[in-house]
Amino acid sequence: MTKRRAPLSIDAALARIAGQEGVGGWAGMATAVNYNERTVRAWGDPDRDEQPPLPAMITLGILYRRCGGVGDPLLQAHADMIGAADAAAFSDKHELRRESLGFMRETSQANLALLEAAEPDSGDAETALATKEVLDVRNWADRILARLGARPRAPP
């Protein structure tokens, strides 16, 4: 029975290396790292605990490139998995950063509108724009304050 391979997985990276012309498939990989073919295949099985040791990952990356492969599938899979875990672990901080950038952009627009409204020759249009921009800043501030209040606080 064939198992589905997650695209950002060690399993998919190992399969990519095994499929590279000149590697020799799973048997060639096993020979290169001095492990049984069954063990090398098990490294990518999400239902098993085996993981490739770092020296084997390095050897397989070199083998892949020696055989004409571009990049390092295991290194990229590792980086992608870390990126996904980071996004999940710090999603609230990433969202706060995005909202902070929006708040800063909106504040800049409000500052400019206020300066234009303060010019001696300004009129109702400039005052209306400044009012709108300041209200937009207030909305952003309220949204950020709500997010800050909802964030878990570290124990004292």
Q: What pLDDT sits at residue 106?
A: 93
Q: Rounded to an integer, what distance in angstroms lies between the CA atom of residue 57 and that of residue 135?
A: 55
Task: Provide the residue ranges of all domains of the chain, joining segments of one domain with +.
Answer: 10-87, 90-150
Residue 152 has pLDDT above 60, yes or no: no
Q: How large a percentage of the chain has pLDDT more than 70? A: 91
Residue 151 has pLDDT above 70, yes or no: no
> pLDDT band for position 19 (50/70/90)?
very high
Mean pLDDT of 11-33: 96
Quick check: 9 and 50 in contact, CB under 8 A?
no
pLDDT digits (tens, 9 = 90+) for 105-138: 999 999 999 999 999 999 999 999 999 999 999 9
Residue 12 has pLDDT above 60, yes or no: yes
> pLDDT band for position 150 (50/70/90)?
low
Q: What pLDDT sits at residue 89?
A: 85
Query: Which of 27-36, 88-97, 100-109 comes out lowest in average pLDDT?
Result: 88-97
Question: Who contacts 24 (Cβ-Cβ below 8 Å, separation ≥6)?
Answer: 31
The long-range contacts involving 71-76, CB below 8 angstroms and separated by at least 24 positions, are: 73/12, 73/13, 73/14, 73/16, 73/17, 74/10, 74/13, 74/14, 74/17, 76/13
